[in-house]
Amino acid sequence: MFGYVVINRKELSKEELNKYKSYYCGLCNGLEEKYGKKGMSLLSYDMTFLYLLLSDLYNTNDKENEKRCAVHPIGKHKYTVNELTEYVSDMQVLLSYFSLKDNLLDGDSNRDEQKLLKLESYISVLKVKYKRQYECLSDNLQKIIALEKVGENNIVTLSSLSGDMIKEIFAPKEDVFYKKLTEIGKSLGSFIYIMDSYDDLKKDIKHGSFNPLKDISNQEDFDKVVKELLEIPLSQAANSLERLPLDDNLSILRNIIYSGVWSRFEVLNRKK
């Protein structure tokens, strides 16, 4: 599920790229501090987008520090932490937990089962602390699973549920920004589901696994249809993003929404 909400590195200035890396490493630091090495292994670009978005929107008191780590053992690197680091780290763990559950139901490896078991001990606390987010993730994943089991292949229906599943983690509180933040979360969740289905299509056909794009994959204009399906939620995400009072990280967030998210789609099309 993770890894599609990325930057277009070539279109960022050196200053913007360094800033993005600092937030990425800040989230990694937050995961390590609270969850150890297993927390670090969950780090995703998708949640780095959320970290950048919320930090800008809520005008956080960012603190830039330096450290060495296993990934950067030779020299110190900068990382940014603030009062929302813990929230985004917790959301990374919750989302990873439900993603691993989904992977196991799809018949993925025992490695995912081991990862899931390692996260179990944290979930009892997180489900109480973030009742709204937990229930949204749990309820909508069950709906997706139920529809996939009966062979529902309406990609719009399924991707909409995926959006509903993710939307609440984008809003740390129900305030004046809640509506726009959940709109962005829902739109990106829908995009991720469609992109993931497109990415996995060849593998799923080979192994006889469920994929809602199978039935239309032989259409002559298949890639065009998928692109149009992806454009709809991305347009909605961009519209909501532009209506929020953002400034400090806006250029990076725009880079991701307007350009970076298309990276995997373009790679897959170049291979054809």
Q: Are strands 77-81 and 63-67 parallel, antiparallel or unpaired?
A: antiparallel
pTM: 0.95
Q: Which amino acid is at 185?
A: G
Mean pLDDT by 10 residues, the chain (272 residues): 88 98 96 93 95 98 88 82 98 94 70 80 96 97 93 96 97 98 98 96 93 95 97 98 98 98 92 72
Record the tokens describing residue 149, joined without a space. Answer: 């089991």
Q: Which residue has the tokens 């998928």?
A: 226
Q: Which of 50, 150, 61 is nearest to 90 (CA)?
A: 50
Report helix, strand and coil shares of the chain as percent, to nearest 5. 70, 5, 25
Q: Which residue has the tokens 């008191």?
A: 61
Give the CA-trace dihedral at 148, 99, 140, 127, to 10 degrees. 150
Q: Which residue has the tokens 């830039």?
A: 64
Widest Cα–Cα separation across the chain: 53
Q: Which of 132, 214, 140, 145 is nearest to 178 (CA)?
A: 132
What pLDDT score does 113 carry? 76
Strand partners for 77: 67
